[in-house]
């Protein structure tokens, strides 16, 4: 989704050159072979971060984390909003703070 483009802009603004950004377009059924094929293009990758805009209890994280852990052989890290009872931050200023934090976390975890 949209977070891919935000990540691409943040990567360029920060001058990050050692991070690939991959999109998983099909979550269900989980296509393990496709993920393995994508990751095989990055044999030196050692850290895997799942980034999403939704709170951790609302997006794909709870579904995808165990599947990625099985595929990767280790638990992926999470960059995104904390679990919440509402998908909205509550204010525009808070939304921007959370967005800035998740984009930063995606490159520093």
Each domain of the chain, given as residue ranges in start order, spans: 2-108
Q: Which CATH architecture has domain 2-108?
A: 3-Layer(aba) Sandwich (3.40)
Please write the tens of the pLDDT for every residue from 64-108. 999 999 999 999 999 999 998 887 778 899 989 999 999 999 999
Indicate the pTM of the whole model: 0.90
Please write the tens of the pLDDT for every residue from 31-72. 999 999 999 999 999 999 999 999 999 999 999 999 999 999
Q: Phi and psi at residue 42, in whole multiples of 5°?
A: -130, 70
Bridge partners for 52 per DSSP = 80
């Amino acid at each position: 989704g949209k977070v891919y483009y935000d990540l691409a802009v943040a990567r360029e603004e920060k001058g990050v050159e050692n991070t690939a950004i991959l999109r998983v377009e099909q979550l269900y059924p989980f296509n393990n072979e496709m993920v393995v094929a994508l990751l095989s293009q990055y044999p030196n990758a050692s850290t895997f971060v799942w980034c999403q805009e939704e709170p951790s209890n609302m997006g794909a994280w709870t579904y995808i984390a165990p599947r990625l852990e099985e595929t990767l052989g280790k638990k992926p890290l999470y960059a995104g909003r904390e679990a919440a009872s509402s998908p909205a931050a509550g204010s525009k200023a808070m939304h921007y703070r959370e967005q800035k934090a998740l984009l930063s976390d995606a490159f520093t975890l």
